[in-house]
Structure 1
Amino acid sequence: MHNLARAALILMLLVPAGMAQAHHHARCVVDDRDREVCLFNPARRIATLSPGATELTYAAGAGEQVVAVVSYSDYPPEAKQVASVGSHTRIDLEALVSLAPDLVIGWVTGNPAEQLETLEALGMPVFYIEPRTIEGVASAIERLARLAGTEAAGQQVADSFRHQMAQLKTRYAEREPVTTFYQVWDEPLMSVNDQHLIGQVMQLCGGVNVVGEQSRLVPRLDDEAVLAANPEAIVAGGMGEENRHWLTHWEQYPHLSAVANNHLFFVPPSLIQRPTPRLVEGTRILCEQLDSVRQQREAL
């Protein structure tokens, strides 16, 4: 940050006095970088630095405490009314500091590390999130609620999420496997491995990830790798909630199983690419899509 001294002064002037008052019972949680984060008072001014972090914070019952978000923080709708401080890849630190957050929710692999380190150097508590499992999503909600003092509301949402995902897991546990390719990006072509949260959702639905054994969490691939795997289903998220154009790319390969059988599927990205309670809806859509592949098999 080119004007660190000025930012520090702004923070000292605007930070709530309560942050400086040490209470006997600190609120401590472990974040997704295995760091303990402690607050002496419930957070009252929260900055969320990814759309997923914004959604999780609202899910934890702390929406009214959010004072800063980043671009594409569009759910719930009221989040669009909160001040934006740039994008998750480039944060306007002066704008953020001027809002005097007493808690920053960072994204482990999505936010610039040096910018979050700057915020920590200014004395702002940074809680890093990046749920890698279904349980991790529920746990993130509980931990955020702990920091925000909204435990009851957060616990209710976390328990409901666990219950609904468990129901889907039971429903699809015995279904026949469907070889599946999930496209997370187009140029370069990118997917996910079995350790990724989306990969785990595929497994829950009975999908067999054709690139699941890749060593990278988000591997870069080429068309030839997909053609060689010949998945029964191709699923894409696209750049927008209604934008399916990534799927048309595959139609140039009519002998690809997913193309020949019209098994090119779209799931709105916010429902499956964000680690939030709406993952229930995205999982349900994906499971139903893979079930349609099984039904067509049976009809032949």
Structure 2
Amino acid sequence: MPFSSAPVVGAAAALLLAAGLAQAQPAQRIVTLQPSLTEAVCSLDACERLVGVDRHSDWPAGIASLPRVGGMAEANIEAIVALRPDLVLLGTRSRSAQRLQALGLRVLVLEATSHADIRRNLEAIAQALGKPGAGERLWRGLDLRVQEQRRRVPVAWQGRRVYLELHGGKAAASEESFIGETLALLGLVNVVPGRLGAFPRLGPEYALRADPDVLISTVVGSTVAPPQRPGWHALRAVREQRYCSLNAQQFDVVLRAGPRIDEAAAAVVQCLHRLPPPQP
């Protein structure tokens, strides 16, 4: 099940027009307020145009020396203005768009809840950079690499049921989320239905009732490993050691709706290769 290869028509142009960028000169001084947007600019070979990033951006390594201007909820408006950007990229959850626009800055607000959104965003950013078509080419490369990851999934795991938890078990990625789309592209079946929302808050009882073939968890902060959680010994995936934990770096990649979803797919496949195969 490869990504859709149909051309993106109208969506990227509409985004640019809405932000007042359709007739603008290619952006040369860019501030990003979301890690996935930072990664998109760099994946489009324009890292050198970044003059400031949010506090959570950590890839690629070359951005480490850039000024940090806060995050989605508390961007430092004065610091952003002082950097004299000709484009600010941010997500819909950011509270700063209107204030920045009121100060005369050009702003491109991008939403990413699905693979289709990621694809549109890459091309919208490419156009803002003066590189029309580059976003679509980047997406097609992602397509090929995710297809390759699917071919690496062991046959015994094809069609098996998976539960991918987030934030130490406080939430999960459903089949409606972009993470769920990646799992489906790998041939896995998500036990969390989309009707619950993209990232529903679910207690441990849900995982126990769903009884997935594999549990993918995260090692972040004080997260307790599945075998040490009260009652989790009743979960077959735990008893039969069919669970694995993503480290903090892998978790960041999986959680970001940007140009590294092929790496997210690879992290899941590596997890499966480390586990004993499920019983018939």
Q: Give the alignment's TM-score, normalised by structure 2.
A: 0.82
Q: How many residues align?
A: 264
CA-CA distance at 1:252 after TM superposition: 4.8
**1:179 equivalenced with 2:161 (yes/no):** yes
Q: Deviations over 1:12-67 (max 9, x none)?
A: xxxxxxxxxxxxxxxx73339x9454252001111100111111111122211111
1:47-196, aligned counterparts within 5 Å?
Answer: 47-109=31-93, 111-112=94-95, 115-151=96-132, 154=135, 156-169=137-150, 176-186=158-168, 189-196=170-177
CA-CA distance at 1:84 after TM superposition: 0.4
Structure of higher CA gyration radius = 1
Measure, in 2, the Cα distance between the counterparts of 1:265 and 1:130.
30
Q: Is the 8 A contact 2:241 2:275 kept in 1?
A: no
Q: Which ranges in structure 1 are unaligned for 5 or more consecutive residues? A: 1-27
Q: Percent identity?
A: 23
Q: Counterpart in 1 of 2:238?
A: 259
Q: Deviations over 1:229-248 (max 9, x none)?
A: 111211123437xx975545
Q: Deviations over 1:250-297 (max 9, x none)?
A: 475212011011122223112211123322122023134346668342
Q: Is the 8 A contact 1:182 1:236 kept in 2?
A: yes
Moved more, 272-281 or 145-154: 145-154
CA-CA distance at 1:76 after TM superposition: 0.4
Q: Is the 8 A contact 1:138 1:162 kept in 2?
A: no
Q: Counterpart in 1 of 2:3?
A: none
Q: Counterpart in 2 of 1:25?
A: none
CA-CA distance at 1:85 after TM superposition: 0.5
Letter matched to residue 45 of structure 1: R
Letter matched to residue 146 of structure 1: Q
Moved more, 202-211 or 160-169: 160-169
Q: Tell me the C-alpha RMSD between the 2 structures.
A: 2.9
Q: Is the 8 A contact 1:183 1:191 kept in 2?
A: yes
C-alpha change, 1:246 and 1:91, in structure 2 (3 Å) is farther
CA-CA distance at 1:86 after TM superposition: 1.2
2:264 to 277, 282, 300: 282
CA-CA distance at 1:190 after TM superposition: 0.8
Secondary structure at the counterpart of residue 179 of structure 2? helix
Secondary structure at the counterpart of residue 194 of structure 2? coil
CA-CA distance at 1:150 after TM superposition: 3.4
Which structure has more relative contact order (CA 8 Å, sep 6+)? It is 2
C-alpha change, 1:249 and 1:132, in structure 2 (3 Å) is farther
Q: Which ranges in structure 2 are unaligned for 5 or more consecutive residues? A: 1-11
Letter matched to residue 77 of structure 2: L
CA-CA distance at 1:169 after TM superposition: 4.7
Measure, in 2, the Cα distance between the counterparts of 1:88 and 1:50.
7
Letter matched to residue 265 of structure 2: T
Q: Counterpart in 1 of 2:200?
A: 219
**1:42 equivalenced with 2:26 (yes/no):** yes
Q: Deviations over 1:141-167 (max 9, x none)?
A: 222111012347555433311222234
Q: Deviations over 1:172-224 (max 9, x none)?
A: 6986322211111137x111221110011111122222222333221111111
Q: Counterpart in 2 of 1:7?
A: none
Letter matched to residue 163 of structure 2: F
